[in-house]
Amino acid sequence: MSVLIETQDLQKYFKTPRGWLHAVDGINLKIDEGQTLGVVGESGCGKSTLGRAVLRLQDPTGGKIFYEGQDLMAMNKKEVRSMCTKMQMIFQDPYSSLNPRMSIWQLIAEPMLINHMYKGDKEGLNKKIEELMDTVGLAKRLTHAYPHELDGGRRQRIGVARALSVDPKFIVCDEPVSALDVSIQAQILNLLMDLQRDRGLTYMFITHDLSVVKHISNEIMVMYMGKCVERAPKRELFSNPSHPYTQALLRAIPEPNIDKRGELQVLKGEVTSPINPKPGCRFAHRCPYVRESCLADGVELQEIAPSHFVACPYSSEING
Ligand SMILES: Nc1ncnc2c1ncn2[C@@H]1O[C@H](COP(=O)(O)OP(=O)(O)OP(=O)(O)O)[C@@H](O)[C@H]1O
Ligand SMILES: [Mg+2]
Protein backbone atom coordinates (compact mmCIF):
# COMPACT_ATOMS: atom_id res chain seq x y z
CA MET A 1 0.00 0.00 0.00
CA SER A 2 1.28 3.43 -0.78
CA VAL A 3 1.16 6.41 1.53
CA LEU A 4 -1.34 9.02 0.33
CA ILE A 5 -1.08 11.61 3.10
CA GLU A 6 1.81 12.32 5.38
CA THR A 7 2.56 15.10 7.84
CA GLN A 8 5.84 15.79 9.57
CA ASP A 9 5.93 17.88 12.72
CA LEU A 10 2.80 19.76 11.63
CA GLN A 11 2.03 22.81 13.72
CA LYS A 12 -0.75 25.35 13.78
CA TYR A 13 -0.55 28.12 16.36
CA PHE A 14 -3.05 30.94 16.78
CA LYS A 15 -2.04 34.34 18.05
CA THR A 16 -4.22 35.36 20.98
CA PRO A 17 -4.03 38.36 23.33
CA ARG A 18 -2.59 36.01 25.98
CA GLY A 19 0.05 34.46 23.74
CA TRP A 20 0.38 31.69 21.18
CA LEU A 21 -2.28 29.01 21.31
CA HIS A 22 -0.74 25.70 20.27
CA ALA A 23 -3.79 24.13 18.57
CA VAL A 24 -1.75 21.55 16.65
CA ASP A 25 1.69 20.96 18.03
CA GLY A 26 3.98 18.66 16.09
CA ILE A 27 1.76 16.02 14.54
CA ASN A 28 3.32 13.20 12.49
CA LEU A 29 0.90 10.99 10.65
CA LYS A 30 0.72 8.76 7.61
CA ILE A 31 -2.41 7.47 5.91
CA ASP A 32 -2.14 4.73 3.32
CA GLU A 33 -4.33 4.85 0.26
CA GLY A 34 -7.78 3.38 0.86
CA GLN A 35 -7.38 3.47 4.65
CA THR A 36 -8.97 5.47 7.44
CA LEU A 37 -7.17 7.22 10.24
CA GLY A 38 -9.49 8.00 13.14
CA VAL A 39 -8.55 11.15 15.05
CA VAL A 40 -10.05 11.23 18.53
CA GLY A 41 -9.92 13.64 21.43
CA GLU A 42 -12.08 15.97 23.49
CA SER A 43 -13.43 19.32 22.39
CA GLY A 44 -10.70 21.88 21.72
CA CYS A 45 -7.82 19.41 21.41
CA GLY A 46 -7.14 20.54 17.83
CA LYS A 47 -8.85 17.92 15.67
CA SER A 48 -10.58 20.31 13.29
CA THR A 49 -7.54 22.53 13.11
CA LEU A 50 -5.45 19.47 12.20
CA GLY A 51 -7.95 18.49 9.48
CA ARG A 52 -8.01 21.99 8.02
CA ALA A 53 -4.23 22.34 8.22
CA VAL A 54 -3.67 19.05 6.39
CA LEU A 55 -5.82 20.36 3.52
CA ARG A 56 -4.14 23.75 3.80
CA LEU A 57 -7.57 25.31 4.26
CA GLN A 58 -5.76 26.95 7.13
CA ASP A 59 -2.08 27.61 6.66
CA PRO A 60 0.07 25.64 9.09
CA THR A 61 2.57 27.48 11.25
CA GLY A 62 5.25 24.90 10.57
CA GLY A 63 6.00 21.37 9.47
CA LYS A 64 5.40 19.50 6.26
CA ILE A 65 2.45 17.94 4.45
CA PHE A 66 2.78 15.52 1.58
CA TYR A 67 0.07 14.31 -0.79
CA GLU A 68 1.34 11.37 -2.84
CA GLY A 69 4.81 12.62 -2.03
CA GLN A 70 4.09 16.16 -3.29
CA ASP A 71 5.07 18.82 -0.79
CA LEU A 72 1.91 20.88 -0.15
CA MET A 73 3.79 23.45 1.89
CA ALA A 74 5.94 24.25 -1.13
CA MET A 75 2.87 25.07 -3.23
CA ASN A 76 1.52 28.55 -3.85
CA LYS A 77 -2.14 29.47 -3.28
CA LYS A 78 -3.14 28.64 -6.84
CA GLU A 79 -1.49 25.23 -6.74
CA VAL A 80 -3.10 24.50 -3.37
CA ARG A 81 -6.50 25.44 -4.78
CA SER A 82 -6.00 23.01 -7.65
CA MET A 83 -5.51 20.25 -5.05
CA CYS A 84 -9.09 20.63 -3.83
CA THR A 85 -10.31 18.23 -6.51
CA LYS A 86 -8.14 15.59 -4.83
CA MET A 87 -8.79 16.49 -1.19
CA GLN A 88 -12.16 17.36 0.27
CA MET A 89 -13.83 17.89 3.62
CA ILE A 90 -17.17 16.84 5.11
CA PHE A 91 -18.32 19.00 8.01
CA GLN A 92 -20.03 18.29 11.29
CA ASP A 93 -23.09 20.42 11.00
CA PRO A 94 -24.67 19.92 7.61
CA TYR A 95 -27.11 22.70 8.36
CA SER A 96 -24.69 25.55 8.87
CA SER A 97 -22.28 24.35 6.20
CA LEU A 98 -24.97 24.39 3.48
CA ASN A 99 -26.20 27.65 2.02
CA PRO A 100 -29.95 27.67 2.86
CA ARG A 101 -30.77 29.60 -0.30
CA MET A 102 -29.40 26.93 -2.61
CA SER A 103 -31.33 23.90 -3.82
CA ILE A 104 -29.84 20.42 -3.61
CA TRP A 105 -29.04 20.65 -7.32
CA GLN A 106 -27.17 23.92 -6.81
CA LEU A 107 -25.39 22.69 -3.70
CA ILE A 108 -24.07 19.58 -5.40
CA ALA A 109 -23.21 21.47 -8.60
CA GLU A 110 -21.30 24.21 -6.79
CA PRO A 111 -17.96 22.44 -6.14
CA MET A 112 -17.86 21.22 -9.74
CA LEU A 113 -18.64 24.66 -11.17
CA ILE A 114 -16.03 26.29 -8.93
CA ASN A 115 -13.50 23.78 -10.29
CA HIS A 116 -14.56 24.42 -13.91
CA MET A 117 -15.93 20.93 -14.36
CA TYR A 118 -18.76 20.35 -16.85
CA LYS A 119 -18.28 23.85 -18.21
CA GLY A 120 -21.01 24.41 -20.84
CA ASP A 121 -22.12 20.79 -20.50
CA LYS A 122 -25.43 21.13 -18.66
CA GLU A 123 -26.52 17.67 -19.69
CA GLY A 124 -23.33 16.08 -18.36
CA LEU A 125 -23.67 18.07 -15.14
CA ASN A 126 -27.30 17.01 -14.67
CA LYS A 127 -26.34 13.40 -15.23
CA LYS A 128 -23.49 13.64 -12.74
CA ILE A 129 -25.76 15.22 -10.10
CA GLU A 130 -28.34 12.51 -10.66
CA GLU A 131 -25.64 9.84 -10.23
CA LEU A 132 -24.28 11.49 -7.09
CA MET A 133 -27.74 11.76 -5.52
CA ASP A 134 -28.29 8.11 -6.26
CA THR A 135 -24.87 7.18 -4.82
CA VAL A 136 -25.52 8.96 -1.52
CA GLY A 137 -29.12 7.78 -1.29
CA LEU A 138 -31.03 11.00 -2.03
CA ALA A 139 -34.29 10.52 -3.95
CA LYS A 140 -34.45 12.18 -7.33
CA ARG A 141 -37.61 14.04 -6.36
CA LEU A 142 -35.51 16.08 -3.91
CA THR A 143 -33.38 17.64 -6.66
CA HIS A 144 -35.00 21.05 -6.26
CA ALA A 145 -35.64 20.89 -2.51
CA TYR A 146 -33.85 23.16 -0.05
CA PRO A 147 -31.80 22.06 2.98
CA HIS A 148 -34.45 23.17 5.52
CA GLU A 149 -36.94 20.78 3.96
CA LEU A 150 -34.72 17.80 4.82
CA ASP A 151 -33.78 15.99 8.02
CA GLY A 152 -30.22 15.96 9.36
CA GLY A 153 -29.30 12.65 7.75
CA ARG A 154 -30.34 13.80 4.29
CA ARG A 155 -28.57 17.11 4.76
CA GLN A 156 -25.40 15.22 5.59
CA ARG A 157 -25.92 13.15 2.44
CA ILE A 158 -25.77 16.44 0.51
CA GLY A 159 -22.47 17.18 2.27
CA VAL A 160 -21.15 13.80 1.19
CA ALA A 161 -22.35 14.32 -2.40
CA ARG A 162 -20.66 17.73 -2.52
CA ALA A 163 -17.39 16.26 -1.32
CA LEU A 164 -17.61 13.40 -3.81
CA SER A 165 -18.60 15.59 -6.75
CA VAL A 166 -15.04 16.48 -7.72
CA ASP A 167 -13.89 12.83 -7.44
CA PRO A 168 -11.38 13.29 -4.61
CA LYS A 169 -9.11 10.57 -3.28
CA PHE A 170 -8.80 11.93 0.24
CA ILE A 171 -11.60 13.23 2.47
CA VAL A 172 -11.33 14.76 5.91
CA CYS A 173 -14.56 13.84 7.68
CA ASP A 174 -14.86 16.31 10.58
CA GLU A 175 -17.37 14.86 13.05
CA PRO A 176 -19.75 14.04 10.18
CA VAL A 177 -22.21 12.16 12.37
CA SER A 178 -21.89 13.97 15.71
CA ALA A 179 -24.96 16.13 15.12
CA LEU A 180 -27.15 13.19 14.05
CA ASP A 181 -29.41 10.77 15.90
CA VAL A 182 -27.78 7.44 16.67
CA SER A 183 -29.85 5.50 14.12
CA ILE A 184 -29.00 8.02 11.40
CA GLN A 185 -25.33 7.99 12.45
CA ALA A 186 -25.09 4.33 11.52
CA GLN A 187 -26.60 5.01 8.08
CA ILE A 188 -24.10 7.75 7.30
CA LEU A 189 -21.17 5.68 8.62
CA ASN A 190 -22.27 2.77 6.43
CA LEU A 191 -22.56 5.08 3.45
CA LEU A 192 -19.01 6.38 4.04
CA MET A 193 -17.68 2.83 4.38
CA ASP A 194 -19.46 1.68 1.20
CA LEU A 195 -18.03 4.64 -0.69
CA GLN A 196 -14.57 3.85 0.58
CA ARG A 197 -14.86 0.25 -0.56
CA ASP A 198 -16.26 1.17 -3.99
CA ARG A 199 -13.99 4.10 -4.73
CA GLY A 200 -10.85 3.35 -2.76
CA LEU A 201 -11.23 6.58 -0.78
CA THR A 202 -8.83 7.53 1.98
CA TYR A 203 -10.28 9.17 5.10
CA MET A 204 -9.17 11.14 8.08
CA PHE A 205 -12.14 10.63 10.34
CA ILE A 206 -12.39 13.12 13.20
CA THR A 207 -14.57 12.48 16.23
CA HIS A 208 -14.69 13.03 19.97
CA ASP A 209 -16.38 9.65 20.37
CA LEU A 210 -14.17 6.55 20.30
CA SER A 211 -17.16 4.28 19.73
CA VAL A 212 -17.81 5.98 16.38
CA VAL A 213 -14.32 5.25 15.00
CA LYS A 214 -14.41 1.70 16.25
CA HIS A 215 -16.02 0.56 13.02
CA ILE A 216 -14.62 2.89 10.45
CA SER A 217 -10.90 3.22 11.27
CA ASN A 218 -7.86 1.14 10.45
CA GLU A 219 -5.65 3.18 12.71
CA ILE A 220 -6.52 5.58 15.53
CA MET A 221 -4.69 8.63 16.75
CA VAL A 222 -5.63 10.07 20.14
CA MET A 223 -5.00 13.79 20.53
CA TYR A 224 -4.67 15.77 23.71
CA MET A 225 -4.10 19.51 23.61
CA GLY A 226 -2.55 19.65 20.17
CA LYS A 227 -0.38 16.56 20.61
CA CYS A 228 -0.72 12.93 19.66
CA VAL A 229 -0.62 10.94 22.90
CA GLU A 230 -1.24 7.53 21.39
CA ARG A 231 -1.44 6.01 17.92
CA ALA A 232 -2.09 2.39 17.05
CA PRO A 233 -3.94 0.05 14.72
CA LYS A 234 -7.57 0.03 15.82
CA ARG A 235 -7.67 -3.45 17.36
CA GLU A 236 -4.47 -2.86 19.25
CA LEU A 237 -5.74 0.47 20.60
CA PHE A 238 -8.97 -1.03 21.88
CA SER A 239 -7.36 -4.15 23.30
CA ASN A 240 -4.29 -2.50 24.76
CA PRO A 241 -4.99 1.20 25.40
CA SER A 242 -1.81 2.40 27.05
CA HIS A 243 -1.90 6.14 27.61
CA PRO A 244 -3.83 7.19 30.72
CA TYR A 245 -5.84 9.63 28.57
CA THR A 246 -6.85 6.94 26.07
CA GLN A 247 -7.90 4.76 28.97
CA ALA A 248 -10.01 7.61 30.31
CA LEU A 249 -11.63 8.10 26.91
CA LEU A 250 -12.44 4.41 26.68
CA ARG A 251 -13.95 4.44 30.15
CA ALA A 252 -16.14 7.35 29.05
CA ILE A 253 -17.83 5.23 26.37
CA PRO A 254 -21.25 4.72 27.90
CA GLU A 255 -21.91 1.13 28.77
CA PRO A 256 -24.78 0.06 30.97
CA ASN A 257 -22.58 -1.70 33.52
CA ILE A 258 -20.00 1.03 33.95
CA ASP A 259 -19.91 2.81 37.27
CA LYS A 260 -20.74 6.45 36.63
CA ARG A 261 -18.37 7.55 39.37
CA GLY A 262 -15.49 5.99 37.44
CA GLU A 263 -16.41 8.16 34.50
CA LEU A 264 -16.37 11.36 36.53
CA GLN A 265 -13.11 10.51 38.19
CA VAL A 266 -11.17 10.71 34.94
CA LEU A 267 -12.28 14.28 34.39
CA LYS A 268 -10.82 15.48 37.67
CA GLY A 269 -7.91 17.88 37.78
CA GLU A 270 -7.10 21.17 36.21
CA VAL A 271 -7.07 21.44 32.42
CA THR A 272 -3.94 23.31 31.51
CA SER A 273 -4.02 26.01 28.88
CA PRO A 274 -2.95 25.42 25.29
CA ILE A 275 -1.66 29.02 25.31
CA ASN A 276 2.13 29.09 25.71
CA PRO A 277 1.99 25.54 27.13
CA LYS A 278 4.55 24.57 29.74
CA PRO A 279 7.04 21.81 29.09
CA GLY A 280 6.17 18.37 30.33
CA CYS A 281 3.19 16.17 29.66
CA ARG A 282 0.06 18.20 28.94
CA PHE A 283 -2.14 15.57 30.52
CA ALA A 284 -0.13 15.53 33.76
CA HIS A 285 -2.57 17.70 35.73
CA ARG A 286 -5.41 15.28 35.11
CA CYS A 287 -3.44 12.04 35.13
CA PRO A 288 -4.14 9.64 37.99
CA TYR A 289 -0.57 8.28 37.70
CA VAL A 290 1.25 11.61 37.56
CA ARG A 291 4.84 11.79 38.86
CA GLU A 292 7.05 14.74 39.43
CA SER A 293 9.10 14.14 36.30
CA CYS A 294 5.93 14.30 34.15
CA LEU A 295 5.72 18.02 34.86
CA ALA A 296 9.30 18.70 33.87
CA ASP A 297 10.20 16.58 30.87
CA GLY A 298 8.85 16.71 27.36
CA VAL A 299 7.28 13.41 26.35
CA GLU A 300 8.05 11.76 23.06
CA LEU A 301 6.08 8.99 21.38
CA GLN A 302 7.63 5.58 21.97
CA GLU A 303 6.85 2.44 20.04
CA ILE A 304 5.72 -0.08 22.67
CA ALA A 305 4.47 -2.71 20.20
CA PRO A 306 4.59 -2.87 16.40
CA SER A 307 2.98 0.35 15.09
CA HIS A 308 1.74 1.20 18.58
CA PHE A 309 3.10 4.53 19.84
CA VAL A 310 2.51 6.04 23.27
CA ALA A 311 3.63 9.38 24.69
CA CYS A 312 4.01 8.23 28.28
CA PRO A 313 7.32 6.90 29.58
CA TYR A 314 5.50 5.09 32.39
CA SER A 315 2.86 3.32 30.33
CA SER A 316 4.38 -0.14 30.75
CA GLU A 317 4.62 0.33 34.54
CA ILE A 318 1.07 1.67 34.73
CA ASN A 319 -0.29 -1.16 32.66
CA GLY A 320 2.10 -3.84 33.86
N1 LIG B 1 -9.21 30.79 14.44
C2 LIG B 1 -8.83 30.54 15.68
N3 LIG B 1 -8.28 31.50 16.45
C4 LIG B 1 -7.87 31.27 17.72
N5 LIG B 1 -7.97 30.08 18.32
C6 LIG B 1 -8.52 29.06 17.61
C7 LIG B 1 -8.99 29.25 16.27
N8 LIG B 1 -9.49 28.06 15.83
C9 LIG B 1 -9.36 27.19 16.84
N10 LIG B 1 -8.78 27.80 17.91
C11 LIG B 1 -8.43 27.14 19.18
O12 LIG B 1 -7.61 26.03 18.87
C13 LIG B 1 -7.91 24.94 19.73
C14 LIG B 1 -8.30 23.75 18.89
O15 LIG B 1 -9.55 24.01 18.26
P16 LIG B 1 -10.25 22.95 17.30
O17 LIG B 1 -11.48 23.58 16.77
O18 LIG B 1 -9.26 22.46 16.31
O19 LIG B 1 -10.60 21.79 18.31
P20 LIG B 1 -11.49 20.49 18.08
O21 LIG B 1 -10.71 19.36 18.64
O22 LIG B 1 -11.92 20.40 16.67
O23 LIG B 1 -12.73 20.76 19.02
P24 LIG B 1 -14.28 20.36 18.81
O25 LIG B 1 -14.38 18.92 19.23
O26 LIG B 1 -14.99 21.26 19.77
O27 LIG B 1 -14.65 20.59 17.40
C28 LIG B 1 -9.01 25.43 20.67
O29 LIG B 1 -8.40 25.84 21.87
C30 LIG B 1 -9.61 26.59 19.93
O31 LIG B 1 -10.15 27.53 20.84
MG1 LIG C 1 -13.79 20.41 15.73
Task: Say whether pLDDT at 138 is over 90.
Answer: yes
pLDDT, tens only, 196-220: 999 999 999 999 988 888 889 999 9
Comparison of pLDDT for 269 and 195, the residue scoring more: 195
**Together in a domain, 50 and 182:** yes
Average pLDDT, the chain: 92
List the CATH number of the domain containing 180: 3.40.50.300
Residue nearest to atom 2 of ligand 1 (CA): 14
Domain edge (last residue) among 117, 134, 167: 167
Residues 263-284: what's their mean pLDDT?
77
Q: How confident is the model at residue 261 (pLDDT cuts 50, 70, 90)?
A: very low
**Together in a domain, 201 and 117:** no
Q: Can you tell me which atom of ligand 1 is nearest the CA of 226?
A: 14
Assess contact for 95 and 147: CB atoms under 8 A.
yes
**Together in a domain, 72 and 211:** yes
Question: Quick one: which of 242, 244, 250 has its CA closest to 289?
Answer: 244
Residue nearest to atom 7 of ligand 1 (CA): 14
How many separate domains does the chain show? Answer: 2
Q: Which pLDDT score, from 0 to 100, does residue 24 have?
A: 98
Taking a 5 Å cut-off on Cβ, the residues next to ion ligand 2 are 48
Distance CA 246, CA 238 (A): 9
Q: Which pLDDT score, from 0 to 100, does residue 254 have?
A: 66
Q: Can you tell me which atom of ligand 1 is nearest the CA of 15?
A: 4
**Together in a domain, 39 and 172:** yes
The total number of residues shown for the chain amounts to 320
Domain edge (last residue) among 115, 150, 167: 167
Which of 13, 21, 275 to mutate to test ligand 1, by most ligand atoms within 8 A of the CB atom?
Answer: 21
**Together in a domain, 43 and 113:** no
Residues 270-293: what's their mean pLDDT?
89
Q: Which pLDDT score, from 0 to 100, does residue 260 have?
A: 47
Range of the domain at 292: 3-86+168-319
**Together in a domain, 302 and 206:** yes
CA of 45 to the centre of ligand 1 (A): 7
Q: How confident is the model at residue 251 (pLDDT cuts 50, 70, 90)?
A: confident
Global confidence as pTM: 0.94
**Together in a domain, 193 and 277:** yes
Which of 13, 27, 40, 48 to mutate to test ligand 1, by most ligand atoms within 8 A of the CB atom?
Answer: 48
Count of CA atoms in the C-beta half-sphere (13 A) of 81: 7
Task: Say whether pLDDT at 194 is over 90.
Answer: yes
48 lines ligand 1 (CB under 6 A): yes
**Together in a domain, 31 and 177:** yes
208 lines ligand 1 (CB under 6 A): yes
CA of 24 to the centre of ligand 1 (A): 9
Phi, psi for 71 (deg, rounded to 5) = -80, 105
Q: How confident is the model at residue 263 (pLDDT cuts 50, 70, 90)?
A: very low
Which residue type does 177 have? V
Lowest-confidence range among 86-90, 131-135, 180-184? 180-184
Q: Which pLDDT score, from 0 to 100, does residue 109 have?
A: 97
**Together in a domain, 72 and 215:** yes
